[in-house]
Each structure stands twice: as structure tokens, then as C-alpha cells.
């Protein structure tokens, strides 16, 4: 499990991809942080709430190659014939993408530090918002890993995860209009509503469990997809 994770993390930082994604995302956070800084109203919680949507674009690019590449290059054989269970391999892959995401999180700590330097304070609300942000990132990474298991084409993997994430993000806006069971489902898969409760300063057990379960389910589905493909084709 950690062998796979270590290898993938090294791979991310050997190529420009991790740096570019981290750089772009930090730039986005900076753009949103800038008005807060000049207005003298240093509220990073709100910034975290605003930048969440951009993960929809960053995470698919980060995760698109994670399983698709192995399939395309035939290295999947190496992983599947090694004495490590498929579940552990998938978790290792997920941990690698999540680690790159965590680098973004850690780099973004620079903003609260700036706030503190200019005599602002770190609120418990901010801690809650960060927990929400991390959970959101984890679930998005899991979606990306899942999408990457579906195809050997990285671009298609990215598009699939983009579509899934986008649907999850906007689901609640249409939940009311659709109504009925469908509406309830859409409300349930809407991550935005749940993420907003974090940035509004509400840390509920239900939402934490929701994100963790969602992540675990996605990884489980990934294992099932690979298992199923082993049975169907050569």
C-alpha cells in the first residue's frame, strides 16, 4: 500500500504536473484572498468557501493518470500479480493523490499566518472550514481515482471525473425543481450544501461521516471496477 503511494507521490513531483496544479490553485486562492486583504477584513473562512469549486477542475487533472496509465502501459500486470491485495493498491493510489492535495492545504496555511501577522486571529470556525476543505478534497480525489479506473485514456478519465464532480456540485440547485425521490437523491449527493455547513462554522458528525463514507464507497467501487474487468476481458 505505502509502496504504491510512495512511488506515485515521487512520480507526481518528478514531473511538472504536481507543481503546476499546486501553483495554479495557490494562485486562485491568492486572487480570492486579495480583496479580503486590502479591505482589511481578513476572513479566510469565506475564501475557503469560495475556492472549493475550483477543486472540480484541479482534482480531475491530478487523478486522471493514476490508474489509467497503468492499464495503458501494461504495468497493471505488475501490480495485480504482486502479493498485495487490490484494495491496498487502490488505497495507495488514492493516498498519493490525497497527499498532493494536502500539499495545497499546507501551502494555503500561509494565508491564516498572514492574517495572524496583521493582528487577526485564527478562529475555531477556520479550523472547521479546513476540516471541511480536507474532507472535500479527499472525496474528490476518490472520485478521480474511480474515474481513472474506468478507462485507459487519461483525458477521458479527467472528463468523467469532471462531470461527476460538477454534477455533485450543482445537484442541490436542481433538487427542489426535480422533487420526489430523484430530488432527495440529488440533495443527498450534493456536496456543496454539506461543504457550506463547514464554512458556515458548523461541524456536524453527520457531515464528517458523509464525506468519509463517500470516499470509502468510491474506492470500493474502484476495486469492483478493476475486479470486474479482470473477469470480462484479457
Partner 1 sequence: MIEIKNLVKHYGQVVAVDDISFKVKEGEIVGFLGPNGAGKSTTMNIITGYLPSTSGTVEVDGYDISLHPEEVKKKIGYLPEQPPLYNDMTVTEYLNFVSDLKKVPRDKRKGQLSDIMELVGLTDHRKRLIDNLSKGYRQRVGLAQSLVGNPKVLILDEPTVGLDPKQIVEIRRVIKALASDRTIILSTHILPEVSMICERVVIINKGKIAAEDTPDRLSQNLGKMSKLNLTVKGDKESVLKTIGNMNNIKYVAMASKSEDGVFKYVLETKDNSDIREELFYRMAECKMPILELKPSAVTLEDIFISVVNKTGITEKEEE
Out of 20, 31, 77, 176, the residue judged to bind partner 1 by CB under 8 A = 77
Task: Out of 11, 87, 120, 201, point to the residue binding partner 1 (CB under 8 A).
Answer: 11
Nearer Cβ to partner 1, position 81 or 177?
81
Of 39 and 233, which has the nearer Cβ to partner 1?
Answer: 233
Q: Given candidates 27, 38, 40, 74, which one binds partner 1 under the rule CB under 8 A? A: 74
Task: Give the interface size with partner 1 as a residue count (CB under 8 A).
Answer: 27
Q: Which secondary-structure segment (H or E) carries 149? A: helix 124-150
Residue from 31, 75, 212, 224 touching partner 1 (CB under 8 A): that is 75
Stretch that binds partner 1, among 2-10, 26-34, 44-52, 194-202 (CB under 8 A): 2-10
Among 39, 40, 81, 206, binds partner 1 (CB under 8 A): 81
- Span from 83-91, 116-124, 161-169, 176-184 in contact with partner 1 (CB under 8 A): 83-91
Tell whether residue 20 is a contact of partner 1 (CB under 8 A): no
Cα-flanking dihedrals φ and ψ of residue 233, to 5°?
A: -125, 175
Question: Which residues, at least 6 apart from 230, have a Cβ–Cβ distance to it below 8 Å?
Answer: 80
Give the separation between CA 234 and CA 230, rounded to whole angstroms. Answer: 7
State residue 108 phi and psi, 5-degree precision. Answer: -70, -10
User: Could you give the residue ranges of the DSSP H alpha helices within 15-123?
Assistant: 16-38, 44-51, 55-63, 65-73, 76-80, 86-108, 110-117
10 Å CB burial of residue 117 (0-12, 13-18, 19+) is exposed
Among 114-122, 134-142, 192-200, 226-234, the segment contacting partner 1 (CB under 8 A): 226-234
Rg over alpha carbons for the chain, rounded to the nearest Å, is: 19
Interface ranges with partner 1 (CB under 8 A): 2-4, 6-7, 10-11, 14-15, 73-85, 230-234
Amino acid at each position: 500500500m505505502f509502496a504504491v503511494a510512495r512511488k506515485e507521490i515521487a512520480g507526481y513531483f518528478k514531473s511538472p504536473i504536481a507543481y503546476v496544479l499546486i501553483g495554479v490553485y495557490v494562485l486562485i486562492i491568492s486572487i480570492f484572498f486579495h480583496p479580503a486583504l486590502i479591505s482589511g477584513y481578513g476572513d479566510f473562512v469565506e475564501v475557503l468557501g469560495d475556492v472549493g469549486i475550483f477543486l472540480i477542475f484541479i482534482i480531475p487533472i491530478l487523478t486522471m493518470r493514476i490508474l489509467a496509465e497503468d492499464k495503458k502501459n501494461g504495468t497493471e500486470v505488475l501490480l495485480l500479480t504482486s502479493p498485495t491485495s487490490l484494495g491496498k493498491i487502490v488505497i495507495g493510489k488514492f493516498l498519493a493523490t490525497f497527499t498532493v492535495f494536502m500539499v495545497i492545504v499546507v501551502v494555503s496555511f500561509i494565508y491564516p499566518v498572514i492574517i495572524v501577522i496583521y493582528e487577526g486571529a485564527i478562529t475555531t470556525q477556520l479550523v472547521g472550514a479546513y476540516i471541511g476543505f480536507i474532507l472535500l478534497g479527499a472525496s474528490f480525489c476518490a472520485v478521480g481515482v474511480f474515474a481513472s479506473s474506468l478507462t485507459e485514456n487519461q483525458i477521458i478519465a479527467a472528463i468523467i471525473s469532471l462531470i461527476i464532480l460538477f454534477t455533485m456540485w450543482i445537484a442541490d440547485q436542481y433538487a427542489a425543481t426535480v422533487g420526489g425521490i430523484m430530488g432527495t437523491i440529488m440533495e443527498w449527493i450534493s456536496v456543496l450544501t454539506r461543504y457550506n455547513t463547514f464554512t458556515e462554522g458548523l461541524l456536524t458528525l453527520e457531515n464528517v461521516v458523509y464525506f468519509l463514507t463517500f470516499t470509502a464507497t468510491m474506492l470500493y467501487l474502484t476495486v469492483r471496477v478493476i475486479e470486474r474487468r479482470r473477469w470480462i476481458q484479457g
